[in-house]
Structure 1
Amino acid sequence: MLFPYIISEQNLDKNIDHVFGEATSWFVDAILAEIPITSTIGIPWVLVVLILGASYFTIYFKFVNIRSFFTAINVVRGKYDALENSEQEMFYTPSPNISSKDTKAKNDNKDTNGEVSHFQALTTAVSATVGLGNIAGVAIALSIGGAGATLWMVVVGVLGMSSKFVECTLGVKYREINNEGKVFGGPMYYLTKGLKEKGYAKLGKVLSVLFAVMCIGGSFGGGNMFQVNQAFKLLNHVVISDNSILHGQGWVFGVIMAILVGVVIIGGIKKIASVTDKIVPFMVLIYIGAVLTVLVLYSSAIPAAFGAIWDGAFHPEGVLGGFVGVLIQGFRRGAFSNEAGVGSASIAHSAVKTRFPASEGLVALLEPFIDTVIVCTMTALVLIITGQIQTGVEISDEQGVLLTASALESGVSWFPYLLTIAVLLFAFSSMIAWSYYGYQAWSYLFGRGKRTEYLYKFIFCCFTVIGAAATLNAVTDFSDAMVFAMMVPNMIGLFLLSDKVKEELKRYKKNIKKMMS
């Protein structure tokens, strides 16, 4: 009975925030530490690793992000499904995807090699990345770096497609399937099993444990508390009146969201995928529909907006170091938006029904394209043409959401309500996807029993209520830092196992060529 009062008490919020911040600031500062470029501008070292890694994979795989783009679309469309159903395969080498603990796992029936379709795996992963980063994050980038930051967001989105291809191919190649047909995959498994194959068994074990711990923390914070907190703030601002009994009562919203999330995640990845494959297209259509309407209304200003993006990217006006500032803000928001290289998406893609790991790697490269190249660019255009951006003023995530709402409102007065619906769906879908990511990491560390599964899901739902009611900035900063820190063990594994990915890509391409001939 006292729970709603306790979690909404402002003094308690501040005390917890202060104590937790003091205890974890060293970790946050270490992960988000910046390499100084000028006296006033720095670039986070994690961002350098993400961009360099994505660039390396793009070159190593001969621009797979561009050359195989339409092949990826065809995989999602089902054009090559005959390969999955073929009784015989030229160039087939079985992947070590059966757990040693589950010797009765069915590998003879190809339909049991996974739980969801290519489209469902894609929508589950997209649901975790398309969210507030596309709405608030873009506004923040443009406020600091100007219109030119948009171009660098697109660049990092295109580069990130290669990283997503690599990690998701490995996710399928080294996944495990138990005797019930349940899939367990992600960096925890390809770091352990893949690096063991390469003779780095101890390194792989250490890296996989580090990744799992940080993934669990990230699922509670950035994938849960932050999402529900920001969704309630927009709902509270746009929909709930000041004199309403629900005004500022975040715990009520948190309980409702926790119940909805709990109902979905209890069913596992199949239930999550069945929800996301309906929610994701709907929420993206709502948001893009509103944005396109505003773009049509302001169509005469679009050429000038593209001109501002191009000029701002290479010839920014203002203080010394403006170019570096624009580039960094564009790269930062692009990389942190699509999470390419972090490894989280490979957990969702591992559950796909396929016998070709590279097929899902190709599907995964569409994710940064949808998230960053399309959604982020459209958001940027709306913000630019409606004059909502004041360059040189750093803003918060909440202010970023409200700027986008104002941009949409300038087109149609009731569009902020549509944005609120989209944000609620973004938050909900991100939460259910991240609950799956966190559970996979949890099961890797603590076992796959029903008790451990329900314990994690109960804790996850409790954090949903806390996240909606409390103002725990230090907690979300720490959890966000854990998400970015996941990149460290993951990128080491991607680099060491890139030759395995190349083998899988060649095998899949050969089979496609054979089928089409």
Structure 2
Amino acid sequence: MEQLNQIISDFASYAWGLPLLLLLIGGGLYLLIFSRFLPFRYLGHAFQVLRGKYNNPNDAGEITHFQALTTALSSTIGMGNIAGVAVAISIGGPGAVFWMWISAIVGMSTKFFTASLAIMYRGKDSHGNIQGGPMYFIVEGLGKKWKPLAVFFSLCGLVGALPVFNVNQLTQAINDILLEPNGVAVGFNSNLIIGVVLVIVTSMVILGGLNRISKVASKMVPSMVLLYFVLVLFILMVNIDVVPKYFLMIFTDAFTATNFKGDSFLGGVVGGLILLGIRRGAFSNEAGIGTAPMAHGATKTNEPVREGLVAMLGPAIDTLVVCTLTALAILVTGVWQSTNANGVSLTASAFAEAMPGIGTYLLLLCITVFSVSSLFSYSYYGTKCMSFLFGADHKHYYNYLYIASIIMGATTSLAMMINLIDGFFALMAIPTMTATLILAPRVTKEIKLYFRRLENENKQ
């Protein structure tokens, strides 16, 4: 197992090298400038679209703008925000959060372009149903000769969509918060039981398809985000005297890397910290990876720009709001310096410190809902990849592989699971970003046409 762990760790480090960093962040910056900072200029219009002002039931697609965003968010708001941020701080200190923010700001433009393309170049599966996502916009937008790139994305997506990290961290949270404090012995058997329960719950929802997934996600995610928001605000109020100090430290530590304990990158610790922040940011908001466009590609709309505007809200909600709240809770309670806990255990320590007794149980409730909703969304992404590769008749076979992997996630180490998903996320980003950068001029052309049409509608 140790040897396998090392191989997967080396694979993840190699995949997240300088070329990918340039593709994700350099490509995202290029898209931001190329679109003349459009994601920030039309935030108000994005919220109008999200509220349903422009919904048309006659448009092609399966789900509403709001359901698409909550389905995409249910996969990103979860362990990336609660455990992923904790992993970033335990290795990189407060400065890692700053580079997660940079990843999110750049990621907003990336999400805008990838989701717009998911609507512009929808394809059809072997059943003739309309589908969206990087594999379809690669083939439909760039032509059949680019199909190997779409196949590569889909193959990596089969592994990247597995829920092993989410399950691993949920199992750890149940052990740390519920079982151990109440005298229950934890080990392989207890982890296996948790895995089996998750298999049963997940099976009931994912075998019902996208409509059931999106309906469940649109009800679960907003209420849990609100509860989590209230809990963290309470922690910040209790420690209000040190909030300014740690908020400032996020900025100062980003360029000094005083608390960084990881490997250096590009010859220095600051480089290592930047890479860590961007890796955890990408894991948190998935901008440029290519998963969210699969959810947004199923939206009932004939206007690509509208879906792009809705999609770009994802990294803002996910990383700039939820990740920042988690980070401040960990920093102001001091647990990042007083404990060796990592991942979700570190976040649980912060809640225990600020709200003894009840805090960890409320956190467990949020974690459970976030994790379970993530399980639903990722299964949808995996079946889309399976359908593209082997035909819609065979996509349900992925659910069996997916359900089996829940047991693996519950019974293996955190390091192995996080490196496995990190590595395949990196590989998925290569075809997604390559196609997006090539097709970007067509999106900007569509932007001009869309706002011209909108202007004419408003005049009438």
TM-score by length of 2: 0.90
Structure 1 residues 307 and 75, CA gap change in structure 2 (3 angstroms): same
CA distance in 2, matches of 1:301, 1:412: 17
Name the residue aligned to 2:263.
none
- Partner of 1:114: helix, strand, or coil? coil
Match status 1:412 vs 2:325: no
Match status 1:330 vs 2:277: yes
Name the residue aligned to 1:429.
373
Name the residue aligned to 1:47.
21
CA distance in 2, matches of 1:143, 1:117: 39
Match status 1:159 vs 2:112: no
Name the residue aligned to 2:176.
237
Q: CA deviation at 1:328?
A: 3.6
CA distance in 2, matches of 1:240, 1:180: 47
Match status 1:280 vs 2:264: no
CA distance in 2, matches of 1:251, 1:376: 30
Q: Which runs of 5+ in 1 are unaligned?
A: 1-13, 36-44, 86-109
- Partner of 1:235: helix, strand, or coil? helix
Q: Which runs of 5+ in 2 are unaligned?
A: 261-266
CA distance in 2, matches of 1:516, 1:411: 51
What one-letter code is carried by the residue in structure 1 that aligns with 2:158?
Answer: I
Which of 411, 427, 434 is equivalent to 1:492? Answer: 434
CA distance in 2, matches of 1:144, 1:246: 26
Matching of residues 193-342 of structure 1 within 5 Å: 193-196=140-143, 201-202=144-145, 204-220=146-162, 224-241=163-180, 243-244=183-184, 248=188, 249-314=190-255, 317=258, 321=268, 323-342=270-289
Q: CA deviation at 1:156?
A: 1.7
CA distance in 1, matches of 2:300, 2:127: 14
CA distance in 2, matches of 1:442, 1:509: 36
Q: CA deviation at 1:184?
A: 1.8
Structure 1 residues 151 and 475, CA gap change in structure 2 (3 angstroms): closer
Match status 1:169 vs 2:111: no
CA distance in 1, matches of 2:217, 2:423: 26
Contact 2:78-2:374 at 8 Å conserved across structures: yes
Which structure's residues are more often helix, by fraction? 2
Shifted more, 126-135 versus 468-477: the winner is: 468-477
- Partner of 1:486: helix, strand, or coil? helix
Name the residue aligned to 1:361.
308
Structure 1 residues 177 and 317, CA gap change in structure 2 (3 angstroms): closer
CA distance in 2, matches of 1:165, 1:76: 14
Q: What is the RMSD of the two structures over their aligned residues, measured on CA atoms?
A: 2.6
Contact 1:279-1:429 at 8 Å conserved across structures: yes
Contact 1:18-1:474 at 8 Å conserved across structures: no
Contact 2:108-2:287 at 8 Å conserved across structures: yes
Which of 444, 454, 476 is equivalent to 2:396? Answer: 454
Match status 1:116 vs 2:54: no
CA distance in 1, matches of 2:3, 2:93: 33
- Partner of 2:354: helix, strand, or coil? coil
Name the residue aligned to 1:387.
334
Q: CA deviation at 1:149?
A: 2.8
CA distance in 1, matches of 2:219, 2:110: 26
CA distance in 1, matches of 2:172, 2:40: 39
Contact 1:115-1:182 at 8 Å conserved across structures: no
Q: CA deviation at 1:30?
A: 3.3
Structure 1 residues 407 and 311, CA gap change in structure 2 (3 angstroms): same
Structure 1 residues 495 and 120, CA gap change in structure 2 (3 angstroms): same
Structure 1 residues 307 and 470, CA gap change in structure 2 (3 angstroms): closer
Q: CA deviation at 1:306?
A: 2.2
Structure 1 residues 171 and 318, CA gap change in structure 2 (3 angstroms): closer
Q: Percent identity?
A: 38
Contact 1:47-1:335 at 8 Å conserved across structures: no
CA distance in 2, matches of 1:417, 1:212: 38
Structure 1 residues 318 and 407, CA gap change in structure 2 (3 angstroms): closer
- Partner of 2:336: helix, strand, or coil? coil
Structure 1 residues 174 and 404, CA gap change in structure 2 (3 angstroms): same
Contact 2:121-2:137 at 8 Å conserved across structures: yes
- Partner of 1:62: helix, strand, or coil? coil
- 1:188-230 CA distance string (max 9 Å, x none): 101111101xxxx32x11100000000001122xxx1221121
Q: CA deviation at 1:326?
A: 4.1
Name the residue aligned to 2:264.
none
Structure 1 residues 159 and 445, CA gap change in structure 2 (3 angstroms): same
CA distance in 2, matches of 1:172, 1:264: 26
CA distance in 2, matches of 1:47, 1:148: 18
- 1:483-509 CA distance string (max 9 Å, x none): 221011111100111112112222222
Name the residue aligned to 2:451.
509
CA distance in 2, matches of 1:273, 1:318: 40
TM-score by length of 1: 0.81
Contact 2:52-2:66 at 8 Å conserved across structures: no
Contact 2:105-2:315 at 8 Å conserved across structures: yes
